[in-house]
Amino acid sequence: MDRRWYLDVNRFARTSGWAHGFMAAYYERLASPIGAGLVVLVVLVVVGWWSARHDPRHLAAVTWAALAGLVAFGLSEVLVQVLAERRPYAVMKGAEVLVTRASGYAFPDARAGLAGAVAGGLLIARRWRLAGLATLVSLLLLFAGVYVGVDYPSDVVAGAALGAIVALVLWPLGSWLLVPVVTRLGSSPLGRLVAPTKPDRPSVRFELGRPARLPDARAMEALRAASEAARHATYTAPPAPPSPIRTRIAGPPEGVAKDATAASK
């Protein structure tokens, strides 16, 4: 079945000359021998790093995406030499090949391994849109490997699966190694490039696992005594200021009245 699928795609490549230039450049010829597909994946990793730089764990996951890609690439190169599966154009002499014919082996494909690891790493970092784009870029890269005639479908599928497994299974180890490093770099002079702090804003920190501190017995007793004293206290009004008394004068004083009577007599 693997051979039949390869021949079907190769037959399609023969009849779609309009796509030869793009597919060859995407797989290998642009920035040879890297290819446009891997360049796009590198750009996605850089964008993911920039968007995750405020969170040490997410930043470590994006960094792990790049490192896991390199690990998967190297592991694929080792397995290729161990399994020693010949490339399809070495078996089928009439195959259409659009790029330079390599003399090595094909299973599992190292480019596909790198692509699968990058997509898995961005998924771990919760860069959902970037992980989706990386998945699409990787699928096109896998198809391009078969289209240009250098890989069987099983070669690219095995490589992508290997890369995804490396990224996902080894992430606990990568997290244990990278999160402390990224956190330390965040407090170093490189902090603004690695994990810059956000603008100063009032923040509230919630700490789990630390019980609230309760007042001691003395404080509670003093608070209770003050409450009882305030409840039983009586209110004493301050003394009122003296008010002016108005005196109605009915006539002259008594002594003055007697003198006035005697004078008149």
Task: Report domain extents, the chain.
Answer: 2-186
Q: Are 174 and 64 in contact (CB under 8 A)?
A: yes
pLDDT of residue 136: 92
Instruction: List Cβ<8 Å contacts ≥24 apart for 125-128.
Output: 125/48, 125/52, 125/58, 125/59, 125/61, 125/62, 125/64, 125/65, 126/58, 126/61, 127/48, 127/51, 127/52, 127/58, 127/62
pLDDT of residue 245: 53
3-state secondary structure of 27: helix
pLDDT of residue 106: 76
Is 2-186 assigned to CATH 1.20.144?
yes
Give CA–CA dist 252/82, Å, rounded.
Answer: 141
Query: pTM of this prediction?
Result: 0.65
Q: Are 7 and 145 in contact (CB under 8 A)?
A: no
**Angle CA 68–108–119, to nearest 5:** 35
**Positions in the chain short of pLDDT 70:** 1, 31-32, 185-216, 232-265
Share of the chain above pLDDT 70, in %: 73
pLDDT of residue 176: 83
Residue 222 tokens, joined: 């003093």
Which regions of the chain does DSSP assign to beta strands (E)?
Answer: none
What is the amino acid identity at position 77?
Answer: E
